[in-house]
Structure 1
Amino acid sequence: MNVHQIYTDSPLRNYNYIVELGNGEVAVVDPIYPKLVNEWLVENNRVLAVVLLSHGHHDHVAGVDELVQQHGAQIWGHKDSYKKIDRILEDGEKISTALGEMEVIETPGHTMDHLCFLFYESGKQVEIITMDTVFNAGIGNCKNGGNLDVFVETILDLNEKVEDQVILWPGHDYIENNLRFTLSIEPENEDAKELLEQVHKEGSVKFRTNFATERKVNLFLMTKDVEEIKKLRNKRDKW
């Protein structure tokens, strides 16, 4: 796999990700606590070459400066995500990884600088880091620098692009609450019921889904109606 997940146990239940770039070098996505990243690097005998940013919210960039100072890593991201970007990433750009390619996808809406990262192995889609665009059984909000009209178009486009087998790597562990929201709208959704039971049994941290599952339990991916997605997001904000 290209991607390794780190649960930070932060107040917002953030995830960080390590991306294998090859030759023992890795990128870390949206680091908060440098100590956790450094522990992972030592345990796995890897060198931090890149800090990769999905967007500029504080809970996604808090550890950037310290890691750059410690490792001399470059910062890659959207031009508006941080005070200094060494490599500005563009929509559709493809970057080589240890196992294939990573495609940069501009996904504005949660914030206007948000990026997602879609991974390919042998030309096949395998994983996507969506951070605060798509969560397990939900999507991000637009409360802090976002735009709902733009976000809906982003969600529709991403839902069209990403294939069923692709593993979802979100920015936060929100799956249990999101499934409860799904069931508040669709109380007879058996897939959501079964998944919630599985989460209760196995625990929510590091629980993994793919887009085939998401299209059965994530209300925002189950419709192509623009107004319906807006209504659902507004309901979720108040729920």
Structure 2
Amino acid sequence: MTVFPLPAFQDNYIWIIKDKDSSGIWAVDPGDANIVLNYCQEHDKHLEGILITHHHKDHTGGIAALKQQSSCAVYGPKHLTDLVTHPVDDGDRVTVYSRVFHVIATPGHTLDHLCYFNDTHPSPSSRPWLFCGDTLFRGGCGRIMEGTPELMLAAMNKIASLPDNTQIYGTHEYTLANYRFALSLEPDNTALIDAIEMCKILRANQQPTLPTELRVEKNTNPFLRTHIVALKNQAAQQLNETPANHVVAAFSQVRRAKDIFS
């Protein structure tokens, strides 16, 4: 099985899951139906299934048309009754070809946000996969639009508990902007500096910076590093606030500092 992105809109990725023994594909968060349909037509594929992480239109806008064209299965938050054929929630499982994905609820960006995690290894070289929508990006995390800092921190902790070699498939190409903020908090972080240089090269060659690896995020992503005193103190300074002592308040300061960063 392989995963690759189809770029959509200004900075979205629709992740496509393909199996060498199948004429079908699965799509993750297809906000634009035409992009998926064009791929299927050009490569003689048919759409078998869709995974939805949350309800925002740039992740769901193409689903109605895709269902009409392909009668595919759609897995996602149970309240999306007009779109979802197989409602799922925390702890459920979804089988995609040879891989079984565990559904992980990660409310924070939205209250219905789900991630899909696979740790079954068809071959010794395979690594775990996480389709995480707008919960975690390379170098960043989603804005807290419906949830709370407490919920978002809990989502970060859930992801941080996964194996370090997990491949992180976020849905937006925000990396270089995220890294500018991360560097403002940790200007001497050599792992971050190295990651920035690598991603600049990727983007100069019009290559995606995703997927990333969880161990990379733990070393560079400020939202997985809000326990580090110097980092959270710098965020508080950017807000002209006293550094928070409580873990949720410290996370909130880092998130709010990012929200106003330019």
In the superposition, the TM-score normalised over structure 1's length comes to 0.90
For 1:184, the aligned partner's letter is S
Gaps spanning 5+ residues in structure 1: where? Answer: none
Gaps spanning 5+ residues in structure 2: where? Answer: 228-246
Look up the match of 1:213: 216
Q: Is the 8 A contact 2:52 2:77 kept in 1?
A: yes
**What is the CA RMSD across the aligned residues, in angstroms?**
2.0
Secondary structure of 1:200's counterpart equals helix
Distance apart, 1:99 and its partner CA = 3.1
Distance apart, 1:60 and its partner CA = 1.0
* 1:226 is the counterpart of 2:248: yes
For 2:167, the aligned partner's letter is I
Look up the match of 1:126: 128
Q: Flag the 1:223–1:125 CA change in 2: closer, same or farther, 3 A.
A: farther
**Which protein is bigger by CA-based radius of gyration?**
2
- 2:132 and 2:192 mapped to 1: Cα distance? 21
Secondary structure of 1:68's counterpart equals helix
Sequence identity percentage:
26
Q: Flag the 1:102–1:20 CA change in 2: closer, same or farther, 3 A.
A: farther
Q: Is the 8 A contact 2:202 2:208 kept in 1?
A: no
Q: Is the 8 A contact 2:115 2:131 kept in 1?
A: yes
Q: How does 1:74-113 map to 2 (within 5 A)?
A: 74-81=73-80, 83-113=82-112
Q: Flag the 1:74–1:14 CA change in 2: closer, same or farther, 3 A.
A: same
Secondary structure of 2:255's counterpart equals helix
Q: Is the 8 A contact 2:34 2:62 kept in 1?
A: no
Secondary structure of 2:128's counterpart equals strand
Secondary structure of 1:15's counterpart equals strand
Secondary structure of 1:121's counterpart equals coil
Look up the match of 1:61: 60
> With CA pairs under 8 Å and 6+ residues apart, which has the higher RCO, 1 or 2?
1
In the superposition, the TM-score normalised over structure 2's length comes to 0.82
Q: How does 1:1-239 map to 2 (within 5 A)?
A: 1-8=1-8, 10-11=9-10, 13-20=11-18, 23-81=22-80, 83-122=82-121, 126-143=128-145, 145-160=146-161, 162-203=162-203, 205-208=207-210, 209-224=212-227, 225-239=247-261
Distance apart, 1:4 and its partner CA = 2.4
Alignment: residue pair count: 235
Secondary structure of 2:102's counterpart equals strand
- 1:54 and 1:81 mapped to 2: Cα distance? 11
- 1:74 and 1:94 mapped to 2: Cα distance? 14
For 1:216, the aligned partner's letter is N
